[in-house]
Structure 1
Amino acid sequence: MASEKLKSDIIEAKSCLDLTLKSHWSGAVHFLSVSVSESSRSVVPFRASPSLEFLLLDLIYETVFLSSSNLDMASRPRRRSASRDGANVHGLQTREAQQIRGRNESEYYHQIMNVEETPAIVADQRPPGAGGRGEILLQTNVYGLTLKDINVCRYDVHVVAKVGNRDRVVEFTKRCVDDINTLQRRTKCRLCLDIVCNKYQNVFQQRRELVWYDSQSILFTASRLDIGATEKKQFVLEEADLRSDPLFDGIKNIIFEVTPCSEGTFMVNASDIARYASDNMDNIDHSLQQFLEILTAQYALNNPQEAVCFGSKTAYLMQPQNHGFRVSDCPDLGDGKYLAVGAAKAVRFIEGPGGRGGQRPALVVDVKKTAFHYNQSVLEKARMVLNRDPGAGDLRRLRSEMKGLIIETRHGRRPRICAIHNFTEDTPATKKFKNANNVEVTLVEYFHQTYNITLAHPDTPLIVVQNSNKQSVYYPMELVYIADGQRVGAAQQGSKLIQAMIRQCAIPPAERIRQIASLVPAFKLTSDNEYHKAAGLTITSQPLNTRGRLLANPVIRYPRGNVLPDASATWKVQRNQYLVPATVRNWGFYVIVMPNRRNTIPPDAVQNFQTAMVQECRARGMDINPPSTWDYLDPVPDAIKTMFQSAKANNVQFLFFISHNDITELHNVLKLYEREFGVITQDLKLSTALDVVQKGKQQTMENIVNKLNVKNGGMNYSLDPPKANSGTTDVLPNDRMVIGLSTSHAGPQSRSSPGTPSTLPSVIGVAANVKADPLDFVGDCLFQQPRRDEKISIMQPLLRSFINMFIENRGTAPKSIVVYRNGASEGQYKDILDLELLMIRAVTHSCGIAPKITMIVSQKMHNLRLMPKNINPRDKPPAQNVPPGTVVDSAVTHPAYNEFYLNAHTALQGSARTPRYTVLHDDSNMSMDEVENLTYSLSFAHQIVNLTTSLPSPVYIAMCYAERGLNVFKASPTDYTLPARQQQMQNGSINGSPGGTQNGSGSGAPSTTAEGNLDFRLMMRDLSYANCSLRNLRINA
């Protein structure tokens, strides 16, 4: 009866909801207090249970905010002129829509909680930590900046040209898909500014060194230009003004439009650091930071013979050997590619050497290495790829290596820039067309007659490009060239290239310091730079040194005795048994290999591995039988699916696979069937198994069995974290829930087709310590709109589920919740405080609890490096890097945020990328010692290997779940685009979940993206773990 009543209430609520959605979203909020009864049509107070109430909130949220059709028409961004904005319109509308959605969502949750909106202010800054086992002297790549007291003015720039006889309009300030057009447009914008400054001196009235331009749409000047506050001043450059540079050939005129920014951001006070380093996210202003980044990029931007720039933060040296770099620093990568060396720089506000209370800007400079294509003929590149002349049988390889690359012609009066669209088996000797005299000629004849060029390779495949009318144009490979300054895209990065780049980019600290010291003068990041002197900017000649503390290691707890990790944060298990050994009774063991490759596996090797694995499991206390089935398996998805079906029918608990190294595409299929049939899996490469039995790699076997135990519900060890605040505070009490959140994005939307809906979702990985032991984490993967990073759409049902599991397993409700939010940028802090924090409060309120909430952002994608002050360059990388437990919470940290850098891991190669942590909100008022000790201790809780992870385990596990979710989605044969789902429903081919119930893993999951293209509810039902038998297991261990 209760179930039927719940169904009835939901149907009634959904019906009422449908009536509400025709009005503005606030009407949906009003629906929470009244319910329309279908039977009586009367209005009665609505008092549902908390779970039903929040199911309704989920439905309201889903329909109101996650469907683009429900944005109030009055609040939709207006479409601007297509002639001005072109493809930029979509990006502008998306940003404006996100801002509108954010404001509406924030108001929505404030109304639910019946609280007034408050400013998004980060947590009050705490004194630096004091605990630890010692100090370490550090050097950084942070250079201090000092500015004189000046005001600079900011302007928006828009540059449009009329090209050709038809006056085709080209917007130079519009973003391009490819590097070459981007670079050329930036160069044209920069040259235009030079001409404008010279031609209109009455307007600019200052030296060129006092005009700082990003070669796109942002301009700063030392003095106010003679332009009205609301005027859009257009400077017209005629053909006669443009003759000085061949880059402007074919251009009739250019309009260089300059507009003052709005009043609040027009005047930038270079000395008022406090205004730009605020703790109030509602008032955040990045103008000063942006000015300094553009100012320090002026030398590179204005000297293209020295550097190639991609924005104001990244530049590469044209001649690195002239600046102290060796040939080995930027080697040839094969296939017509090389590794370029440059700098990634960023301006940050820090406390400075004085610590707390200090405020100063700083420049962070790091080495940047990226693969580029050589500037060579396409024929030369093809030879490097193939190691011979290309022929008709090489078309597939040529397409995979070069399709989409930008090429240039050099045989005509004016160079042409175009993209490779295809290769064809036609050759210059065979391809015929009618020339201007209507005579049929071959390309060989055409080039000889028209350009007096005799083709040396008339039998090579032709390049196909498309003109503006989408018509095919054919070029001989020997006459077109790979345009210079072109980075290697993901499509051209094979595994061999990626491995070579990883090796070359793994720069140990001693060598990194040398290379940074070479980059600083190479890009004139010094006080004597003419642009810096004009602006009154000085830069310290040496990077900042600071002190770090070494945090104490936690105690590793096993049933037969505790273990203390050594200084490198590693430990030996010895003969300890697992804290919670798993039971594995009915399981299968399979070797996946092609039938004709079975004879390559040494006799008895796999059997010996299986025997040794069972023995190791038993030695660790596990209750495990020999496998119920042991067989070879063909690497065919249908055969593997049949095996899973049989395993499920026979109640097989666990399947262990050894895959031949030749099999590279099957792992994700195994994980898809694991989710579908609810049978735990573990997949191992054959070479790894052979290393164990033939080379005696016992540590590898221990790691394999560690993973096996955790996957099957066991727990290898627990921790006793050091107490904070002079040993008085337990950092992980039994009533503290810890959650990790991380997102795996499908990749950027195609800039060439900005309106095209994505067919790949963003996947949110999540992990939480909701089991009996506070160090025992489980997780899940959930799905939401592509490129959206806020976790609103998945937090509601997920957090309620976690709270219920926590109470069930611990016997108490959580009194505090610590959320580690991985990967958010500073630009997202406001959304986290406005939306995600309030959502957590709303859900806990619905559960009848009021825990203290702490929100911590972890971020590894930054350029700041911490390295020991004293380094022996002959040492191996682990000895050159900072040791695990190194923490810095002053000097290089933000002057207004609770921020710290914590290096928890040992860097085995290259230089450690130390994560930065920002405490955005903290009801518990934890000291820095408490937050740092908690974070470091959680880095020991991974369970699989006896060493630390670079990020706390809840974050690391969440990252793995996010990656797993995206991989399983890609492996699934199901089409989750809504048109396909609607067609399948009409055909009657959708009959429920392949592996679970009809219930989605989260009732608040959206059913559409902002583009209305993907069915997330079905994804959650099929691919998430919350509604299947694996939900309480850490299956991605």
Structure 2
Amino acid sequence: MIGIKTYIGNVYPLQFCHVAHAQLYKRSLPKWIQDEVISSSKTSPQERLKRIRQARLDLGYDNSPWIHESGLSIRPEPMSGIAARIIDPPTLHFHLPGHNSPRHSISPKNDTSWKGAWDVRARTFAVAGRIVNKVGLINFAGMKEQETQRFYRDLRSILHEHGIVIHDQNPFLQTQEPAGVDEEWLRHWVQYHPADLIIAILPTNAPDIYRTVKRFGDVEAGVVTQCVRHGKKFDNQYLNNLSLKINAKLGGVNNYASGLEIFQQKNVIVFGADVSRPAAGLQPAIASVVSSWDDYGCQYMAQISIQPPQQEIISDLQKMVYEAVRFYFSQRTKRELPLSKRLPGAILFYRDGVSEGEYAAIAKEEIGSIRRALQQVVVEISERFNLQPPPQIPKLTFIVVGKRHHIRFFPDILSPQDPMNAADQTGNCRPGLVVDRDVTNPTEYNFYLQSHAALRNSTSRSSHYIVILDAINISPDLLQSISYALCHVYARASRSVSRPAPVYYADLVCRRARFHFDTEVATHLDYASDASGDQPFNIEHWKSHFKDIHVGMKGMMYFV
């Protein structure tokens, strides 16, 4: 029977259901609609500035009696002459920092043509991921065998150029129809064809099989998986981009960025945190926390927790920070570092997705949770190793990163010389733009950083950084440089991105968390009804159907 299933299990036959007129669609739109919306919303800086000027005229501020009675006036032109500067991009190292070699570095300092992107072709990655002995190749898209083998051969060659060792020259190739493939099928397949890396070729639109493969690899088997979509042009550029993801998933580092050496010197852990709340229905909110465990803010472990819908405060943050610091300690213990170098000296915490009205609650609840976790770890380590006096509790700097604002910056290209050389080829401000006065909140420690190059025919939107707490006492210049450098170590791209890498990773982990639910409740995440608040939300029900990451993936960047 085809029907509508409610949250409590009742099913209404489709022939008795009617679609009400003019409903607001609150759930995620299909990807093809999202792509069309994004494409249609692209506006060049010149066109956007023109629309802003026109909007002022359309709103009729000059003729508004309320504006005049209030003694206010709206200037006809956008603010000009704002104090701003372009900070230097970091040097990118395709080797361990300190081992300088022009062949393995990209130094864009003082390069006014720098577009925030770099070419990774024929470059050896800074740290190659672990050696792969066996590869499983599953063709769900009906590609011809010869075409599939050529794709694998070309990919393996590109990976070899980057320093990644794949011993398997002729992997077992399975051509399989997607219908009927579930985790049990994959488990049986891997039992007879063990693999360190599973590459799945998917049809153009196959969200169900994608979820099945990812859940099996991340949650059930602890095997690295890489999905590719049939229909893509498997050219050199695509394969190089694919190699970025594969190397990171295998535990490698694609590149380092200068300016992050302070993490090694001061034993800093960098955190990124986000909460993904459902748009509709009785679905749980997903909280994610990622934390660095290497010396240069490039390798991260991920944690996930689920909590009641519409709750922004991360309820399990104390436990998550505690686990992150313990993992950091264990990794440094494996390296046999001195005991004084195993505990972090400072915590740099980037928090995404917080609105201005929630700053006070965040400061009270989440900062308190972090401090309690740090104290708990220090006390445990002190007692375990009989440290007298006990180590200092790591200092914390807590920063909210947001992009949901309406401020846009335009280069003063009307100036004859353009003294800052602030405009790029698209008419946007160049990457590295920092604005920390004039338009910022005068009562808060905050700044805007435009760290990425805009796409063609679009206007860049800077990220807004609000420092809620700065116990480390980082100077504004240093914090801005560190944040900018972190935008250059995002493992999925060979370009600087709009937010620090750990913030992006936290967002990716929230999205991937949907695959941790079993099939009994997974459909509710995509098609849950707009149930009213009359039905009680049972968080324990959702937790019982949620499974954490496989132990073999702990500390691995499976989510990139």
Q: Against the structure 1 CA distance between its residues 664 and 803, is the aligned structure 2 distance closer, same or farther, given a 3 Å change threshold? A: closer
Please state how far the C-alpha of 1:775 moved relative to its aligned partner. 2.2
Deviations, residues 124-154 of structure 1 (Å, cap 9, x unaligned): xxxxxxxxxxxxxxxxxxxxxxxxxxxxxxx
Residues 548, 888 of structure 1: 8 Å contact kept: yes
Quick one: which of 229, 241, 254 aligns to 1:716? 254
- 2:105 aligned with 1:579: no
Residues 400, 468 of structure 2: 8 Å contact kept: yes
Please state how far the C-alpha of 1:586 moved relative to its aligned partner. 1.7
Map of 2:326 onto structure 1? 804
Map of 2:404 onto structure 1? 861
Tell me the distance in 2 between the aligned counterparts of 1:604 and 1:911: 43
Residues 284, 306 of structure 2: 8 Å contact kept: yes
Tell me the distance in 2 between the aligned counterparts of 1:572 and 1:915: 25
Tell me the distance in 2 between the aligned counterparts of 1:572 and 1:861: 31
Please state how far the C-alpha of 1:860 moved relative to its aligned partner. 0.7
Amino acid aligned to 2:106: V
Map of 2:173 onto structure 1? 630
Q: Against the structure 1 CA distance between its residues 1016 and 854, is the aligned structure 2 distance closer, same or farther, given a 3 Å change threshold? A: farther
- 1:929-948 correspondence to structure 2 within 5 Å: 929-948=477-496
What SS is found at the alignment partner of 1:1029? helix
Map of 1:681 onto structure 2? 225
- 2:161 aligned with 1:619: yes
Please state how far the C-alpha of 1:547 moved relative to its aligned partner. 3.0
Quick one: which of 820, 831, 840 aligns to 2:350? 820
Deviations, residues 215-266 of structure 1 (Å, cap 9, x unaligned): xxxxxxxxxxxxxxxxxxxxxxxxxxxxxxxxxxxxxxxxxxxxxxxxxxxx
Residues 585, 653 of structure 1: 8 Å contact kept: yes
Amino acid aligned to 2:473: N
Please state how far the C-alpha of 1:797 moved relative to its aligned partner. 2.0
What SS is found at the alignment partner of 1:869? coil
Amino acid aligned to 2:484: Y
Quick one: which of 658, 682, 691 aligns to 2:201? 658
Mean alpha-carbon deviation: is it higher for 893-902 or for 677-686? 677-686
Q: Against the structure 1 CA distance between its residues 740 and 975, is the aligned structure 2 distance closer, same or farther, given a 3 Å change threshold? A: closer
Q: Against the structure 1 CA distance between its residues 967 and 576, is the aligned structure 2 distance closer, same or farther, given a 3 Å change threshold? A: same
Please state how far the C-alpha of 1:501 moved relative to its aligned partner. 2.3
TM-score (norm. length: structure 2): 0.81
Q: Against the structure 1 CA distance between its residues 424 and 590, is the aligned structure 2 distance closer, same or farther, given a 3 Å change threshold? A: closer
Please state how far the C-alpha of 1:1015 moved relative to its aligned partner. 3.5
Q: Against the structure 1 CA distance between its residues 646 and 800, is the aligned structure 2 distance closer, same or farther, given a 3 Å change threshold? A: same
Quick one: which of 4, 14, 25 aligns to 1:489? 25
Q: Which has the higher contact order (CA 8 A, sep 6+)?
A: 2
Tell me the distance in 1 between the aligned counterparts of 2:64 and 2:431: 39
Residues 671, 968 of structure 1: 8 Å contact kept: no
Deviations, residues 298-342 of structure 1 (Å, cap 9, x unaligned): xxxxxxxxxxxxxxxxxxxxxxxxxxxxxxxxxxxxxxxxxxxxx
Tell me the distance in 2 between the aligned counterparts of 1:648 and 1:936: 45
Q: Against the structure 1 CA distance between its residues 877 and 498, is the aligned structure 2 distance closer, same or farther, given a 3 Å change threshold? A: farther
Map of 1:1034 onto structure 2? 557
- 2:293 aligned with 1:770: yes
Residues 881, 911 of structure 1: 8 Å contact kept: yes
Deviations, residues 368-397 of structure 1 (Å, cap 9, x unaligned): xxxxxxxxxxxxxxxxxxxxxxxxxxxx9x
Deviations, residues 555-574 of structure 1 (Å, cap 9, x unaligned): 11123622224611222235
Q: Report the aligned-residue RMSD.
A: 3.2
Quick one: which of 507, 512, 517 aligns to 2:48? 512
Identical-pair percentage: 21
Deviations, residues 726-770 of structure 1 (Å, cap 9, x unaligned): xxxx47645011100011111145xxxxxxxx1x21111221111
In terms of fraction of residues, the more strand-rich structure is 1
Map of 2:499 onto structure 1? 951
Tell me the distance in 2 between the aligned counterparts of 1:523 and 1:533: 14
- 1:268-307 correspondence to structure 2 within 5 Å: none
Residues 712, 1033 of structure 1: 8 Å contact kept: yes
Amino acid aligned to 2:231: S
Residues 766, 959 of structure 1: 8 Å contact kept: no
Larger radius of gyration: 1
Please state how far the C-alpha of 1:542 moved relative to its aligned partner. 1.6
Tell me the distance in 1 between the aligned counterparts of 2:395 and 2:556: 27
Please state how far the C-alpha of 1:710 moved relative to its aligned partner. 1.1
- 1:790-801 correspondence to structure 2 within 5 Å: 790-791=313-314, 793-801=315-323
Q: Against the structure 1 CA distance between its residues 714 and 537, is the aligned structure 2 distance closer, same or farther, given a 3 Å change threshold? A: same
Tell me the distance in 2 between the aligned counterparts of 1:1033 and 1:539: 53
Please state how far the C-alpha of 1:922 moved relative to its aligned partner. 0.4
What SS is found at the alignment partner of 2:429? coil
Unmatched tracts of structure 1, length 5 or more: 1-395, 400-421, 426-462, 467-481, 724-729, 750-757, 978-1008
Please state how far the C-alpha of 1:662 moved relative to its aligned partner. 4.6
Deviations, residues 681-707 of structure 1 (Å, cap 9, x unaligned): 11001122xx12xxxx31211111121
Unmatched tracts of structure 2, length 5 or more: 5-12, 96-102, 379-391, 416-422, 525-534
Please state how far the C-alpha of 1:632 moved relative to its aligned partner. 0.7
Map of 2:544 onto structure 1? 1018
- 2:277 aligned with 1:745: yes
Deviations, residues 931-955 of structure 1 (Å, cap 9, x unaligned): 1011100000112321011110000
Amino acid aligned to 2:134: N
Please state how far the C-alpha of 1:630 moved relative to its aligned partner. 1.1
Amino acid aligned to 2:319: P
Map of 1:448 onto structure 2? none
Residues 264, 296 of structure 2: 8 Å contact kept: no
What SS is found at the alignment partner of 2:410? strand
Tell me the distance in 1 between the aligned counterparts of 2:24 and 2:409: 30
Amino acid aligned to 1:666: I
Amino acid aligned to 2:274: S
Map of 1:530 onto structure 2? 65
Q: Against the structure 1 CA distance between its residues 561 and 503, is the aligned structure 2 distance closer, same or farther, given a 3 Å change threshold? A: closer
Please state how far the C-alpha of 1:778 moved relative to its aligned partner. 2.6
Quick one: which of 439, 461, 466 aligns to 1:892? 439
Residues 734, 774 of structure 1: 8 Å contact kept: no
Amino acid aligned to 1:519: A
Tell me the distance in 1 between the aligned counterparts of 2:66 and 2:256: 57
- 2:267 aligned with 1:735: yes
Q: Against the structure 1 CA distance between its residues 732 and 865, is the aligned structure 2 distance closer, same or farther, given a 3 Å change threshold? A: farther
- 2:135 aligned with 1:609: no
Tell me the distance in 2 between the aligned counterparts of 1:637 and 1:801: 38
Residues 93, 106 of structure 2: 8 Å contact kept: yes
- 1:825-904 correspondence to structure 2 within 5 Å: 825-848=355-378, 849-870=392-413, 879-904=426-451
Residues 816, 853 of structure 1: 8 Å contact kept: yes
Tell me the distance in 1 between the aligned counterparts of 2:259 and 2:375: 30
Mean alpha-carbon deviation: is it higher for 770-779 or for 806-815? 770-779
Deviations, residues 141-178 of structure 1 (Å, cap 9, x unaligned): xxxxxxxxxxxxxxxxxxxxxxxxxxxxxxxxxxxxxx
What SS is found at the alignment partner of 2:520? coil
Please state how far the C-alpha of 1:828 moved relative to its aligned partner. 0.9
Map of 2:75 onto structure 1? 540
Please state how far the C-alpha of 1:592 moved relative to its aligned partner. 0.5
TM-score (norm. length: structure 1): 0.45
What SS is found at the alignment partner of 2:251? coil
Q: Against the structure 1 CA distance between its residues 620 and 495, is the aligned structure 2 distance closer, same or farther, given a 3 Å change threshold? A: closer
- 2:192 aligned with 1:642: no
Tell me the distance in 2 between the aligned counterparts of 1:544 and 1:522: 19
Amino acid aligned to 1:510: Q
Q: Against the structure 1 CA distance between its residues 1019 and 887, is the aligned structure 2 distance closer, same or farther, given a 3 Å change threshold? A: farther
Amino acid aligned to 1:518: Q
Tell me the distance in 1 between the aligned counterparts of 2:18 and 2:239: 53
Amino acid aligned to 1:542: E
Residues 266, 346 of structure 2: 8 Å contact kept: no
Tell me the distance in 2 between the aligned counterparts of 1:883 and 1:732: 30
Deviations, residues 786-825 of structure 1 (Å, cap 9, x unaligned): 111111x221221111111212323421111011000101
Please state how far the C-alpha of 1:589 moved relative to its aligned partner. 0.8
Q: Against the structure 1 CA distance between its residues 885 and 748, is the aligned structure 2 distance closer, same or farther, given a 3 Å change threshold? A: same
Tell me the distance in 2 between the aligned counterparts of 1:576 and 1:608: 22
Amino acid aligned to 2:220: E
